Amino acid sequence: MPTITLFKFDAKLEKNNIVKLLDKKKVGDDWIRARCSSYASDEIEVDYYYPESLEENLRRIVEDDQLHSILTDVFANVNHLIIRRVRIYINLRYNLLQVYRGPDVVTKRIKESLEKLLNVKLQQVTFSSSQLIGMATNYAEEIRHAIFKNVNGFWFTLLRGQHLEKNVKFQRYLSYNHNSLRAIGIRPKIRYIDGNKSFTVTINGDRGTLKICSSGMLKWRPRFELRQVIYIVSKYIGG
């Protein structure tokens, strides 16, 4: 499931200047390519490349007890590096940076690199409980799951189901404290390009992330659809 981490900025940036400041720049061992989008006049597309050891890459998909034998048998003592790419979009209409990666050390490094190159402060996006409910009420076909904080003595509580907006327990959990709802999974009211509406986006209010879940073979949703989701959440940033 792809995850998008959102950052906002207040500075007024000019599209062509952003490309000039980012394109073909190196930050340590990382490097960047940037270009104006061919599909949206207010958007810049950025590719952020960074090297990663093959061992680190395999560690995410291979169990630890198998990893050592694989590296020993196949690669001996050779230090193999692979190049990883992270897709980034900068939207100037909403002053929003979208990093196609969950919040981790690499995302933090990307944030710090772009802050330095653009001379701008990037701030993690957060949403209150009322903002999450506002998105679901105005822009969702249904609520599929929700995560609550500090309800019935539990640090986090997860509810799953169809049309949770009509669920009595969901409504009761909302009343426990003013900001109990911290993440919500919705089926957004957007235009789809392939007729496939089994598309759920989980909006995390604390981490400022969008996690996209699609059934079938399509892992990455088209940008045409994701731009509409970005439009939805942008209406509640800073509100």
* 135: enclosing H helix or E strand: helix 129-139
pLDDT at 107: 97
Contact 113, 32 (CB under 8 A): yes
pLDDT at 213: 81
Residues with Cβ within 8 Å of residue 231, at least 6 apart in sequence: 94
Strand partners, 140: 188
Handedness of CA 55, 105, 231, 35 (dihedral sign): negative
pLDDT at 228: 93
pLDDT at 1: 60
Cα gap 10→19, rounded to integer Å: 18
Q: What pLDDT, in 10s, does the model give residues 38-77?
A: 989 999 999 999 998 765 655 555 555 554 555 555 555 5
**Residue 209 dihedral angles phi and psi, to the nearest 5°:** -125, 155
Cα gap 135→122, rounded to integer Å: 23
Burial class (CB in 10 A: 0-12, 13-18, 19+), 18: buried
Residue 88's alpha-carbon distances to 44, 61, 85, 166, in angstroms, are 8, 24, 10, 36
pLDDT at 83: 87
Extract the residue ranges of the chain whose pLDDT is less than 70.
1, 54-79, 153, 195-197, 214-220, 239
pLDDT at 199: 84
Contact 30, 117 (CB under 8 A): no
